[in-house]
Amino acid sequence: MIPEIYYSTLAALVGPKDAKTLSDKDKTLKLYHTGQINIPLPSPRVAVVGSRNSSLQGDQAATQIAKYLASKGILVCSGLAKGIDSAAHLGAIKAHGGVTEAHGTTLAVLGTPIDQPNPQKRWLKELIGQRHMLVSQFPSGSPVYPNNFLQRNQTLAQLTHASIIIEAQQRSGSLNHARHALKLGHPLYIYRPLNQNQPWTKPLITAGAVFFTDPKDITEKLPPQHKGGINSLDETELFNWQISRQRT
């Protein structure tokens, strides 16, 4: 069962410092959410994305990299699709004791309303909603269109500080996410062992993305850690921050 759903603006979720990089229009984007993660969200936050039709090696890499990131206090974010996304969420959950013990290690940005049934990932979605966090820009009862997932990709990029592509194909939604991340000026990392010969990597590398093999190379370049919540704000930020979390 999904807990009660609230809503906030994108600016309220990311906090005052990160909101400075958003356009005025994007700051006011309404996002629905449920879960056990503080608002503003903890820092740093990294998106781990990739193919729905992933290989065994891709799933294993996503799980291990996400587990490592979460063990270092990084909030692992993804889209709760099958394949790489789900493997990343599970890896983050495993970093702190597993399904029954972990809290607040992963965040899923959905391309559907939060209360939209997801038979394939029902148990994982409910787990994340109860012990971590689900986020969606789509209100309850709204129809689901293919374009929803492209919008979700942009929101996932806006919510995070850096992005990792584990494994992707030429027409993957992950490449749409990658373009949004680069447009925002966020670091974009491509997992070399599974992608170095892929033609889609060339324009991304030219645009500023980098290959990596060891996730330690990523953690050294992320923003400072904080646990999120109102206590993470200094007095100036607190004065300017509007608490917008409300019940739907």
Read off the CATH number of the domain in which 116 is found.
Answer: 3.40.50.450
Q: Is the pLDDT of residue 35 over 70?
A: yes
Q: Give the number of domains in the chain.
A: 1
* Mean local confidence (pLDDT), 220-242: 67
For residue 150, tell me if it sits in a domain. Answer: no
Q: Is 148 inside a domain boundary?
A: no
Query: Does a structural domain hold residue 152?
Result: no
Question: What is the band of 183 on the pLDDT scale with cuts at 50, 70, 90?
Answer: very high
Place of tokens 């995070």: 160
Residue 49 lies in a domain: yes
Residue 69: inside a domain, yes or no? yes
pLDDT band for position 49 (cuts 50, 70, 90):
very high
Average pLDDT over residues 183-196: 97
Sign of CA dihedral 204, 208, 213, 215: negative
pTM: 0.91
- What does the pLDDT read at residue 201? 97
In a domain, 240, yes or no: yes
CB 62 within 8 A of CB 166: yes
Q: Please, which pLDDT band fits residue 101 given cuts at 50, 70 and 90? A: low
Q: Which domain holds residue 42?
A: 6-143+158-247
Indicate the range of 113-122, 135-144, 146-155 predicted with least confidence: 113-122
State residue 149 phi and psi, 5-degree precision: -75, -25
Cβ neighbours for 10, distance < 8 A, ≥ 6 positions apart: 19, 22, 26, 27, 28, 29, 31, 155, 158, 159
